[in-house]
Amino acid sequence: MAIRKALSYSHKVCRPYTRKAKTRGKDYIKTIPQIKIAKFHIGNHQAFREGKHPFNIRLISEQRVQIRDNAIEAARMFLTKMLDEKMLNQYYLAVKVYPHHMMRENKSAGGMAGADRISSGMTQSYGIVIGRAAIVRPGQDIFFVSCIDEKCAREARDLLITIKAKMPCRTRVIFEKLKQN
């Protein structure tokens, strides 16, 4: 079965749901889907920790929104591929959001009037887990890239501008240069 469109979940105001009980009998969620994000930190970690990257570029959200983990992973894969092609070992990329929230859905029967939970009454009103999402606040970082020189930083900024289309919200790219001592 295909996943539902992002509009079904992205701009929904919801309470974060992450509950997983220790005992199986008290648990509403029987199985938790795996996180689709493969890596959260990519690139030259050591140079970043030593302070050799004076240029920082951040992609931040301007809205409160839920971003599915497959959208974050698609953007990360594109960024990683293009950064490796253009500036191998001269960057550090970090994914700053984590998909804690579990999205639920009640399957509806088509063709029957008012069949919200496939004629099961209130016995299965909770819904099944269909995926994970990160709840992002306005002004929160989604991606963070740091680079060694200005040329690489400009290319990374252009890549983050291209990534904006994969995000289900209005985003902004912030480019900053750190002062060297």
Query: In whole angstroms, what is the distance from residue 175 CA to residue 114 CA?
Result: 51
Q: How many CB atoms lie within 10 A of CB 152?
A: 20
Place of tokens 């060297």: 180
Residue 66 domain boundaries? 37-105+128-176
pLDDT at 37: 86
How many angstroms separate the Cα of 1 from the Cα of each of 17, 55, 71? 23, 43, 18
Per-residue pLDDT 10s for the chain (181 aa) are 567 766 666 666 666 666 666 776 766 677 778 888 888 999 888 888 888 889 999 999 998 988 889 999 999 999 999 999 988 889 999 999 999 888 877 666 665 555 555 555 555 566 778 888 898 999 999 999 999 988 998 999 999 999 988 888 899 999 988 876 5
Domain contains 23: no
CB-based burial, 80-96: b 16+ in 10 Å, e otherwise: bebbeeebeebbbbbbb
3-state secondary structure of 171: strand
Domain contains 123: no
Domain contains 57: yes
User: Which CATH number does the domain housing residue 140 bear?
Assistant: 3.90.1170.10
Domain contains 114: no
pLDDT at 114: 56
For 72, residues 6+ apart whose C-beta sits below 8 A from its C-beta are 36, 37, 95, 97, 99, 134, 142
Is there a contact between 67 and 101 (Cβ–Cβ < 8 Å)? no
Q: Give the total number of structural domains in the chain.
A: 1
Phi and psi (nearest 5°) for 71? -70, -40
Domain contains 10: no
- AA identity, residue 73: E
Domain contains 63: yes
3-state secondary structure of 173: strand
Place of tokens 């994970």: 132
